[in-house]
Amino acid sequence: MLAEQKPVPNFISEPVVQALPQELQGADADETETTTDADSLQELVSQQATPDDLSSDMRCLAGAIYFEARGESLDGQLAVGRVIVNRVKSGRFPTSYCGVVYQPSQFSFVHGRSMPAVREGSPDWQEAVAIAQIADGGEWKSKAKGALFFHAKRVSPKWRLTRLAQVDNHIFYR
């Protein structure tokens, strides 16, 4: 009687490429930054045209920058703006700037579903609008790359998050 021969397994190793989940793709939204001709953030801010009519989403982004970081350096304002942009792209937060800004208990300047009145003729507002445009377009690298959270350095929320940077009076986390 002949012995039955079992087939010999043939192992093949091939790379498997999978797209990252949307949540992880958005976590480093700063990776999508574009290049610019400006030599400094100040120069880039001065190059921004102030639109006559801001969309509600851009108004929310600029408002958050205005109320959270007015008086901070341009880098500090940009870092705050990029947190909101990163949240929108992360898949973990609302998908609009207004959705992120008005999410309950996220920003101390928001009361209910509104923010205080903005002095739209002020230089601070014009600067916040310019920074919002830069943050939205990814035109300048943020010192808090990939941040999704921040708080003022005067508070200690005891978060178990990865600390990324301190920019002016804010500490940024992922």
Domain count, the chain: 1
Domain membership flag for residue 17: no
For each successive 10 residues of the chain (174 residues), what is the average pLDDT?
66 51 46 70 94 93 97 97 98 97 94 90 95 96 95 93 96 96
Q: Does the residue 168 lie in any domain?
A: no
Q: What is the CATH number of the domain that holds 81?
A: 1.10.10.2520
* pLDDT for position 10: 64
Enclosing H/E stretch for 149: strand 149-152
- Tokens 């009361």, residue? 111
Residue 153 lies in a domain: no
Residue count of the chain? 174
pLDDT confidence of residue 52: 83
In a domain, 116, yes or no: yes
| Residue 64 located in a structural domain | yes
Q: Is the dihedral of CA 53, 124, 136, 102 positive or negative?
A: negative
Q: Which domain holds residue 59?
A: 27-141
What is the pLDDT at residue 17? 47
Which pTM does this prediction carry? 0.80
